[in-house]
């Protein structure tokens, strides 16, 4: 996730901004940049890489560090690969305005085309450079001040943003605004200085007085005068609410959560929304994905799809198998990348290989891609990290836009991967005529309800915590699911193993009779997904079989279920949705459960023993 930090006041800004960027490093980033204003000139330094790489550049020339005004940025690429040019800050064509931006401007392409017609030139591939030039254009056309120009420009923008804008012709002010991405303002004594940042960590030692902008708010910050906040859309003034910060640095970095994993679990409503943002065009009732549109005949004529991945991404791939087969009627095989690469797989030029990877760096997945390419297959990547090795090695692909995942146990990566796969399957299903227009529309509407449903589901935390307290000392657990939810059973078991070190197995519910049933006794907790669609009655029979062998049953059911409630020891309810989307909901209680058990057992939740976030060796 990108990070913003800035300072305007009387102190040397450079150390504040550069240390602020270091404080934001935990958010994950691929490039860094800083603009320093020395009273006459704006000096821009930016680079792909780490803040320490940026410091090498600024150390070469003291001019780059001078001044009492500075804004800095750590970039997590969304539009345009990570490189020096795409790094922020970005100047407007006039060279007067400079912007740092977090988020995604969905309609940047349309705005860019319009600006190009008016003679604007773009150096980078970013949506941010489009935004700063739009602000310049509005300022010129309307003859207004910076604050008004930013406000008017933002009314034309679709997407999400947190921005900080500086205008060298008005050097005692900064303008910041937010929609969907956070921004905090640190208020110095007597309005002599101000700080801006994505969270309060960059300025916590300078001031404890902070204003957190709400969505669709814009603040004009003037040194010596103060802060005025307005609503972007209706121009109404907002009473500024200065809060007293009570959190320490570490708590701020984790957004107030105790662990990154918990923060990331709670980020899922936003992450899922960001995944389909700009891809589901609700008004037109279509899914727009240029990576699919550009290769449509290939997808429509593919003999089969082969999905390659590892770990949690492999589980997402298994959900993908059900999605593609059910919604688009395309045959699918899902392969562990590590096995696939060492077999002698039969691949033809009519196969499409989809490689799924959060990090985009997993060595086995990368090798599987190279093998598939060497055999002539078209390879499509589903990655989270923009510009990663897998994103570069594949012919085409879609990013998940989940934002950086820091906790070693994957959570939001899984649900956003499934979201991307759902979009592709729906799009292909519609293009192939497998899904009628009304059926397709219904799926689209239902998918857009998922973020709110996940939000609601996260409220069951206390119930899951209680269940965790009952079963935390178990030595073996079984996870069962069928159909779309069989992969969720595998994922639930993996999450528990990874962070609590309790042995757990995931199985298709019906397979239980072919072995695992022998393990069942009164000490064995069995987590069963029994949602109302998808073989409900069959799963109920499986539950009866477990019960008659004294196993303890924790069932995930659909709201309003009565049958399973009578048999199970504990029941967790999920909201109603299409069967195809149930994995996006059923996985949430399992994530919370593993988290709470690991915390109760005093394990290192974010960095479990022996595991690495990115497995770059085979």
Interface segment toward ligand F6R; rule CB under 6 A; list 351-359, 392-400, 511-519, 536-544: 351-359
Helix axes 461-471, 583-600, angle to 10 degrees: 50
Residue reference for tokens 């009565």: 562
CA distance 572 to 554: 8
Q: Does the protein bind ligand F6R through residue 410 (CB under 6 A)?
A: yes
Interface segment toward ligand F6R; rule CB under 6 A; list 139-147, 355-363, 468-476, 536-544: 355-363
Query: Which sequence positions are flagged as catalytic?
Result: 2, 613
CA distance 185 to 222: 12
Q: Does the protein bind ligand F6R through residue 358 (CB under 6 A)?
A: yes
Q: Does the protein bind ligand F6R through residue 362 (CB under 6 A)?
A: yes
Selected from 58, 93, 365, 416, the binder of ligand F6R by CB under 6 A is 365
Q: Does the protein bind ligand F6R through residue 311 (CB under 6 A)?
A: yes
Q: Does the protein bind ligand F6R through residue 268 (CB under 6 A)?
A: no
Selected from 199, 393, 498, 606, the binder of ligand F6R by CB under 6 A is 498
Under 8 Å between Cβ of 144 and 165: no
Strands 226-231 and 184-187: unpaired
Q: Does the protein bind ligand F6R through residue 45 (CB under 6 A)?
A: no
Interface segment toward ligand F6R; rule CB under 6 A; list 49-57, 292-300, 306-314, 438-446: 306-314
- Report the residue count for the chain: 618
Q: Does the protein bind ligand F6R through residue 80 (CB under 6 A)?
A: no
Give me the phi and psi of 603, to 5 degrees please: -90, 160
Residue 359: partners with Cβ closer than 8 Å, 6 or more residues away: 383, 384, 385, 388, 613, 614
Secondary structure (DSSP) of 26-82: GG--SEEEEEEE-SS-EEEEEEES-HHHHHHHHHT-GGGG-SSEEEEEEE--SSS-S
Interface segment toward ligand F6R; rule CB under 6 A; list 73-81, 261-269, 352-360, 468-476: 352-360
Nearer Cβ to ligand F6R (1/187):
1
Q: How far is the CB of 151 from ligand F6R (least distance, A)?
A: 40
Q: Does the protein bind ligand F6R through residue 313 (CB under 6 A)?
A: yes
- The neighbour count for residue 348, using CB atoms within 10 Å, is 11
Nearer Cβ to ligand F6R (45/365):
365
Q: Does the protein bind ligand F6R through residue 275 (CB under 6 A)?
A: no
- Ranges within 434-493 binding ligand F6R (CB under 6 A): none
Judged by CB under 6 A, how many residues of this single chain contact ligand F6R?
15
Residue 293: partners with Cβ closer than 8 Å, 6 or more residues away: none
Per-residue binding string, ligand F6R, 108-147, x by CB under 6 A, is: ----------------------------------------
Nearer Cβ to ligand F6R (199/361):
361
Q: How far is the CB of 500 from ligand F6R (least distance, A)?
A: 13
Joined together, the tokens standing for residue 234 give 């209706």
Secondary structure (DSSP) of 374-405: HTT-EEEEEESSTT-HHHHHSSEEEE------
Q: How far is the CB of 322 from ligand F6R (least distance, A)?
A: 19
Select from 450, 515, 426, 434 the least CA-distant residue to 478: 515
Q: How far is the CB of 245 from ligand F6R (least distance, A)?
A: 33
Q: Does the protein bind ligand F6R through residue 321 (CB under 6 A)?
A: no
β partners of residue 160: 104
**Positions in the binding site for ligand F6R (CB under 6 A):** 310-313, 357-359, 362, 365, 409-410, 494, 498, 614-615
């Amino acid at each position: 996730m990108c990070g913003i930090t800035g300072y305007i006041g009387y102190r040397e800004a450079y150390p504040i901004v550069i240390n602020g960027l270091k404080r934001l490093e935990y958010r994950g980033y691929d490039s860094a940049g800083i603009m320093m204003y020395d009273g006459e000139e704006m000096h821009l330094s930016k680079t792909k890489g780490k803040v320490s790489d940026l410091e090498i550049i600024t150390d070469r020339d003291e001019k780059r560090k001078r001044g009492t005004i500075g804004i800095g940025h750590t970039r997590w690429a969304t539009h345009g690969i990570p490189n020096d040019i795409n790094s922020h800050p970005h100047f407007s064509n006039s060279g007067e305005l400079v912007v740092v931006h977090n988020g995604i401007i969905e309609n940047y392409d349309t705005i860019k085309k319009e600006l190009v017609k008016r003679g604007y030139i773009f150096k980078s591939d970013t949506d941010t450079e489009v935004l700063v030039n739009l602000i310049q254009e509005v300022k010129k056309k309307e003859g207004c001040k910076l604050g008004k120009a930013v406000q008017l420009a933002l009314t034309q923008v679709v997407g999400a943003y947190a921005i900080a804008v500086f205008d060298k012709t008005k050097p005692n002010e900064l303008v910041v605004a937010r929609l969907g991405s956070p921004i905090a303002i640190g208020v110095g004594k007597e309005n002599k200085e101000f700080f801006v940042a994505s969270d309060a960590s960059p300025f916590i030692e300078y001031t404890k007085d902070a204003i957190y902008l709400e969505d669709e708010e814009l603040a004009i910050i003037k040194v010596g005068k103060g802060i005025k906040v307005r609503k972007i859309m209706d121009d109404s003034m907002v009473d500024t609410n200065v809060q007293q910060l009570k959190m320490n640095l570490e708590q701020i970095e984790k957004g107030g959560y105790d662990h990154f994993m918990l923060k990331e679990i709670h980020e899922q409503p936003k992450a899922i929304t960001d995944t389909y943002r700009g891809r589901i065009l609700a008004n037109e009732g279509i899914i727009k994905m240029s990576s699919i549109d550009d290769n449509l005949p290939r997808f429509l004529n593919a003999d089969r799809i082969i999905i390659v991945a590892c770990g949690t991404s492999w589980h997402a791939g298994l959900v993908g198998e059900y999605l593609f087969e059910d919604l688009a009627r395309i045959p699918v095989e899902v392969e562990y990348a590590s096995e696939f690469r060492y077999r002698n797989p039969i691949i033809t030029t009519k196969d499409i290989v989809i490689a799924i990877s959060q990090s985009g760096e997993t060595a086995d997945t990368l090798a599987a891609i190279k093998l598939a390419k060497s055999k002539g297959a078209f390879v499509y990547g589903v990655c989270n990290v923009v510009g990663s090795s897998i994103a570069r090695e594949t012919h085409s692909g879609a990013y998940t836009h989940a934002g950086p995942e820091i906790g070693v146990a994957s959570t939001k990566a899984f649900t956003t991967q499934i979201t991307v796969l759902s979009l592709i399957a729906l799009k292909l299903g519609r293009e192939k005529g497998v899904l009628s227009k009304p059926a397709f529309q219904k799926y689209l509407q239902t998918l857009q309800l998922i973020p709110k449903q996940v939000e609601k589901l996260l409220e069951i935390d206390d119930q899951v915590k209680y269940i965790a307290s009952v079963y935390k000392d178990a030595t073996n657990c079984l996870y069962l699911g069928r159909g779309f939810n069989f992969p969720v059973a595998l994922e639930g078991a993996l999450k528990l193993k990874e962070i609590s070190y309790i042995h757990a197995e995931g199985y298709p519910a019906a397979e239980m009779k072919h072995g695992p049933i022998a393990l069942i006794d009164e000490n064995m907790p069995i987590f069963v997904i029994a949602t109302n669609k998808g073989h409900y009655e069959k799963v109920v029979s499986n539950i009866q079989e477990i019960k008659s062998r004294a196993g303890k049953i924790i069932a995930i059911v659909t709201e309003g279920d009565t049958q399973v409630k009578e048999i199970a020891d504990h029941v967790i309810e999920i909201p109603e949705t299409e069967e195809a989307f149930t994995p996006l909901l059923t996985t949430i209680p399992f994530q919370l459960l593993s988290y709470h058990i690991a915390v109760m057992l005093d394990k290192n939740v974010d960095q479990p023993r022996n595991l690495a976030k990115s497995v770059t060796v085979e």
